[in-house]
Amino acid sequence: MRRVKALAILVLASLAMQPGARGADDRNVIRADRAALTLSWRGSDADLGRPGLLDWVERSAQIVSSYYGEFPLGKVAIQISIGEGDRVMGGRTFGAPDAVIELRVGRHVSAQALHDDWVLVHEMIHLALPAVSDGQNWLAEGLATYVEGIARVQAGNMSATALWSEYFADMTKGLPGAGDQGLDRTHTWARTYWGGALFGMLADMRIHEQTGNRRGLQDALRAIERAGGGMAERWPADRIFAVGDQATGTTVLRDLYAAMKDKPGAPDLPAFWADLGVVATDDGVRFDDNARLANVRRAMTAPYCNARSVSTTAVRQPSSASSIALASDSCSPSPSQ
């Protein structure tokens, strides 16, 4: 089922404590790579119990750690409020003065719903990017919207077909409408989330294409994460793009920002899908592996070490253990499925 991103970023109201509800001193600590994630709880128990929720947090943290090569920050507080519902209802993230993720989860949520959840991965990705001005919130929300799906596919938590089906259906929401003045000046929900995601997808494709799949947006975001203190710091967008471009040896981020920041830059999405070999079907998409940039499409969702260790020609072949040789044995392990 297509996800509705608007429901993910909710302003979480304080939940009244019910009889027998947990107090603030009721905590769990999860170690994720270098990070200590301290969980606190509000509300009554979820039907599946606390272990299922702990597995969800740990799995999400591993997905994000695999994408960045490390968890973005060393200490994060995660506040989970249990209320009515059967899914992850929403979340929000703060970087300063201390990193905090607030989540609202339905007490009837199933293990499958938690396995398929994207909200917590999205919120954890926010931790990796330095904070930007309110007028450039599209960069934070858009990159989180784009990257969470890529990270989940790389980790084996989502299929590439499901991801590209979602992109095909939803990226059109990010296109400029009448009166649009560019990403920095048009602050609608669609342009903030899906316009920013469109920026990320275009940047990823162009970096892969220009570098022969030796680099991608993931290289830029890893470099940005390592150069700063994540969401706890505030950077101007120009600095973010300069660090990212240096890591890829291109000017893709700065060029794309110049084209989209204060004017309604509208990419030709039908041509984009055709180049990548993403073909619409009645129930999603299928892939055309003879398309001009089919190799780029595969590299964009390949695990990091695989994507960087194959030539442009090699990636054109169907991905398999025999056709993709690892450049090293240092790939981040996939989280448990």
pLDDT by residue (tens digit) across 70-95? 999 999 999 999 999 999 999 999 99
What pLDDT does residue 32 have?
86
Q: Which amino acid is at 171?
A: M
The residues that bridge with 105 in the sheet, in sequence order, are 82, 88
What's the confidence (pLDDT) of residue 104?
97
Question: What pLDDT shows up at residue 8?
Answer: 41
Contact between residue 102 and residue 158 where contact means Cβ atoms under 8 Å apart: no
Does position 114 have pLDDT exceeding 90, yes or no? yes
The pLDDT of 271-275, averaged and rounded, is: 98
Six-digit token string for 257:
């920002």
> Please, which residues bridge with residue 31 across strands?
36
Report yes or no: 144 and 122 within 8 Å, Cβ to Cβ: yes
Determine if the peptide bond prior to 97 is cis (ω within 30°): yes
166 residue type, one letter: E
Segment 286-305 shows an average pLDDT of 96
CA distances in angstroms from 241 to 14, 57, 107, 139, 211, listed in the order given: 37, 30, 41, 11, 17
pLDDT at residue number 26: 61
Q: Is the pLDDT of residue 23 over 60?
A: no
pLDDT confidence tier of residue 315, bands split at 50, 70 and 90 = very low
**Percent of the chain clearing pLDDT 70 (strictly above):** 83
Indicate if the pLDDT at residue 324 is higher than 70.
no
- Average the pLDDT over 131-136 and give the result: 94
Write out pLDDT tens, residues 188-230.
999 999 999 999 999 999 999 999 999 999 999 999 999 988 9
* Position 287, amino acid: F
**For helices 217-227 and 196-210, what crossing angle results, to 10°?**
110
Task: Tell whether the model's pLDDT for residue 285 goes beyond 50.
Answer: yes
For the stretch 166-175, what's the b/e string if a residue is b when 16 or more beta carbons lie within 10 angstroms of its beta carbon? bbbebbebbb
